[in-house]
Amino acid sequence: MIENSMFEEEPDVVDLAKEPCLHPLEPDEVEYEPRSSRLLVRGLGEHEMDDDEEDYESSAKLLGMSFMNRSSGLRNNMSVYRQNPNGSCSVPCTRTMVVCTVVLVIAVSLIMAIYLLPKCTFTKEGCHKKNHTMELIYPLASNGKVFPWAKIRLPSDVVPLHYDLVLQPNLTTLTFTGSVKIIVNIVQVTWKIILHSSGLNITKATITSAGGHQAKPVEFLEYPLHDQIAIMAPEALLVGQNYTVNIEYSSNLSDTYYGFYKISYKDENSKQRWFAATQFEPLAARSAFPCFDEPSLKATFLIKIKRDEKLSTLSNMPKKATTPVTDGIVQDEFFVSLKMSTYLVAFIVADLKNISRETNGSQVSVYATPQHLNQVGYALNTAVKLLEFYQKYFLINYPLEKLDLVAIPDFQSGAMENWGLITFRETTLLFDSNTSSARDKKLITAVIAHELAHQWFGNLVTMEWWNDLWLNEGFATFMEYFAMEEVFPELHSDEDFLNLIFKAMMKDSLNSSHPVSSAVQSSEQIEEMFDALSYIKGASLLLMLKHYLTKDVFQAGIEVYLHNHKYGSARSDDLWDSMNEITNGTLDVKTLMKTWILHKGFPLVTVVRQGKNISVQQEKFLYHMETENWTSDASYLWHIPLTYITSSCNFTHCTNAYLLDQKSAVIELPEEVEWIKFNVDMNGYYIVHYAEDWKTLIDLLKNNHTALSPKDRANLINNIFNLAGLGKESLEKAFELIEYLNKESSTAPLTQALFQLSLIYSLLEKKGEQHLAARVMYRIEHLLGDKIDQQDWTDDGTLSERELRSTLLTFACIHDIRNCRATATEMFEKWMKSNGTMSLPSDVMKAIFTAGAKSSDGWEFLLKMYSSSVSEAEKSKMIEALASTEDVRKLIWLMQNSLEGEVIRAQELSHIIATVSQSLPGYLLAWDFVKENWKKLTRKFHLGSYTIQNIISWSTSQFATKAHLLEVKSFFESKSEESSQLRCVKEAIDTIQFNIQWMERNLAKLQKLL
């Protein structure tokens, strides 16, 4: 990106003939260098523009300045004279001279622009003209020489084949040295090899030809803005030939969560220890070794790591040999990897223990620090079961001889799918039978299922570029829940997936949303693709397609896709083509699914029943922020696989299907029915408005709610509250629909109703409408009070019942409903008197801790226990309770200490901010903390990362005033362009605007309604 500062100085013309030439230039290529921008301009064919338009947004402006500057050079050769009355010429007056000069400069500039840029149209992409070249901006390298590449994406003239990587991390000095030999193949003649490097101190670079024995030193250039280096060959690199690039370098172990980073933790004797691990996705392999760091540029890897003999190392492949190097230092060599992307390379140096089991020729191991080894058993059993399931389902064996799952003491993500070496946050892998709840078990199972699915979707077949990230993450999310239903049906994971879909649709309904498959270039744009739409919407679309095609056809299409593209890369169209091979012309899957992945948002389907005829009409569901009267966008047309059930269901053929591929249609039923419900079990990604039929469905829920499945009931609750937010349905009708809840016993509808009512309560509370907020809470107690009273403080029941108990009691204790807080406080005080040795039921532990943290003594004791606990599940519940205090000073201390990462790990910060921002004392504190620490936050977590997305979202989501809207806008506008243009910032602004609009539309109605 070109900074605006480039326009602060007048550019000068540079004579490149006087500069040493780094690469051959055609005779007619002329280059210019504006001083302030330190950029060079070089001729480029117009067709090259389309690949990377963002690199050239300012090229037209720069060119215009260059031509203006060239014309201004004529000023010194011109004079303006005034004629005396006697006919002689005298020196002109200064004013006349200046005016005439300006006029002449403008005239000459216009003439030159017209003649030098014939038929040129300046657009965002630059200057387009027939039979003329486009001037491309080339940057200067860090040493001041021309860097021979301007695009963010690497050139296609060189591809990597194999890496030999040798690393020596030092856990005392917290640095590492490395050398990499990269065998590359030349696709087209070139004098340069462009690859990635970030923050590495390169000390030596050589190149060797395939038949040559002598490595030739080469000049290398660095362009840090794009994390690129250029190896300048001493002679032309020939097509079809292999060359070996050898680079030596050193660097510090990173103090962020990216690249090859350091982790501090305390062992069982409370002694500080160091741990080195990697996190390369999406763009951080380049900060551990120079490489071609794009997902489609796959290669094989031979990794050697030198380490202290008291430590151990892990990498993607099994260990081949260990050899002594010097006193106390040995080198581990790993077998050569399969062909894979750089972001999947991984290595760990630490003191770890493990347990293992073999299945189908692969050794499955779970590693943790020694004090946590007794908590890895559940993960091992789960991983083995899931690995066996995936191999049967995909009909492709897991291709490696080993699969390691490693609990990392400090880890930003939930987990990372590195091939053969999956890394996890400790809370997503370690299960403690004494302190892990039903929800903890479900979380661990889900994360393992997700990462194991990636071994096929992502690792075996990888998206070609980050615009199709959903092929990795959407598929892994879909398979995660599908596998859990098949292998662990008692977990009722489909209820969790339903809630995730509802939340993804909230994000997708804003104007700031994006298509599942979106063009991306910059690092911030790539980071932001890791969001709910790539994961949850992507998975939802696959779920919808599976139900429409039938499970057997869908499974066969997946098998074709994996077989056709294994060890390679794929685009979205490749998946649809594979599905079309199975449908064989009966259905064009590509046409259908493109309407979903290339459009942002989702459809609203309006249903009108007239006798046997059901009219259905689609429009875009969108919270329109500018005017009260919302109108649909006629350009959006989805091919919607509608499903519906009716009162005529005979339990042999209940679900009917209809493909709505136009704006409206009429479905004719065989007979008149009492009621009809669309989007069966919420298997489709759309919202339904029943117009006059809402009353029929409300009556059905009151009289016979079990006529619909729990997921269908949750779906109706979600839809009607969303329609009330849109202004398509009344809030009164939404409240009328949930009146049946005192009869409800299923988790999905109860949690959805609680979620919707909690949103309203939070908005009112933060708006200062305390009296009205109290009335909402009274309504919640009226609907759910009996359910809360029925919960006992144990871990008894099915997993679904236990999870509902945890949700209801935690909510009741936070809001002091019924006698929940009194019971929880009593249990907390007994636990405190036992100095934390008394066993507490794991499912209600969070509710007990939350009540205990309300007192100052309880909070301090909880913090002390947090510091000494060895159960990550218990510590997670403690953190949430600590962050729910109403003591402002404690909240500030908590956020600050988490950012510093000493007492509380920085990995917990976004969770702490989320909890703090939900409370009345904390929601303004959270936003102030983000503003004051923005620079530190973005350095630690990177712009666009999922953590930054969450921090921005949570710290602003409670705002509902124009003053706060202006404050949030102003803050981000005052930051860098990269910050202000983040999609999550636009989403936060959209959310505040929606909150304002919702309050304006519904506040008066609520006052009458409640």
3-state secondary structure 305-353: EEEECCCEEEECCCEEEEEEEECCEEEEEECCCCCECHHHCCEEEECCE
Residues 641, 646, 652: CA angle, nearest 5 degrees = 85
CB atoms within 10 A of CB 426: 24
Amino acid identity of residue 3, one-letter, is E
d(CA 107, CA 303): 64
Q: Tell me whether residue 454 is exposed, middle or buried, using C-beta atoms within 10 angstroms of its C-beta: 0 to 12, 13 to 18, 19 or more.
A: buried
C-alpha to C-alpha distance for 36 and 776, rounded to whole angstroms:
59
What one-character DSSP code corresponds to residue 105?
H
β-pairing, 568-570 with 461-463?
A: parallel
Q: What is the C-alpha separation between 659 and 549, in angstroms, rounded? A: 12
Cβ atoms of 422 and 407 closer than 8 Å: no
Strand pairing category for 347-350 and 353-359? unpaired
> Does a cis peptide bond (omega within 30 degrees of 0) precede residue 282?
yes
Catalytic residue among 33, 294, 417, 451: 451
Identity of the amino acid at 14: V
Cα–Cα distance measured from residue 668 to residue 373, given in angstroms and rounded to the nearest whole number: 62
**255: its two tokens:** 């103090």
Contact 603, 622 (CB under 8 A): no
Is 872 annotated in the active site? no
Closest among 795, 854, 810, 802 to 829, alpha carbons compared: 854
Distance CA(545)–CA(875), nearest Å, equals 40
Type and span of the H or E element at 52: none
Does residue 249 sit in helix, strand or coil? strand
Mind giving me the DSSP string for 448-466?
Answer: HHHHHHHTTBTTTEEESSG
Cα–Cα distance for residue pair 142/574, rounded to 1 Å: 41
Task: Provide the 3-class DSSP secondary structure of residue 545.
Answer: helix
Instruction: Say whether 656 sits in a helix, a strand or coil.
Output: strand
**H-assigned helices in 815-961:** 820-833, 845-852, 856-868, 872-882, 888-900, 909-918, 923-932, 934-941, 946-956
- The identity of residue 637, as a single letter, is L
Dist. CA 277–CA 334, nearest whole Å: 16
SS3 819: coil
Among residues 987, 896, 891, the alpha carbon closest in space to that of 948 is found at 987
Q: Are 71 and 117 in contact (CB under 8 A)?
A: no
Structure tokens at 673: 């029915």
Return the structure tokens found at 739.
Answer: 């009146």
Task: Give the DSSP letter string of 349-414.
Answer: EE--EEEEEEETTEEEEEEE-GGGGGG-HHHHHHHHHHHHHHHHHHT----SSEEEEEEESS-SSS
* Tokens representing residue 888 in the block: 């402002």
CA distances from 348 to 226, 332, 372, 452, 844 (A): 27, 12, 17, 19, 36
Decide if 402 contacts 843 (C-beta within 8 A): no
C-beta of residue 233 within 8 angstroms of C-beta of residue 227: no
The values of phi and psi at residue 587, to 5°, are -150, 135
Active site residue ranges: 451
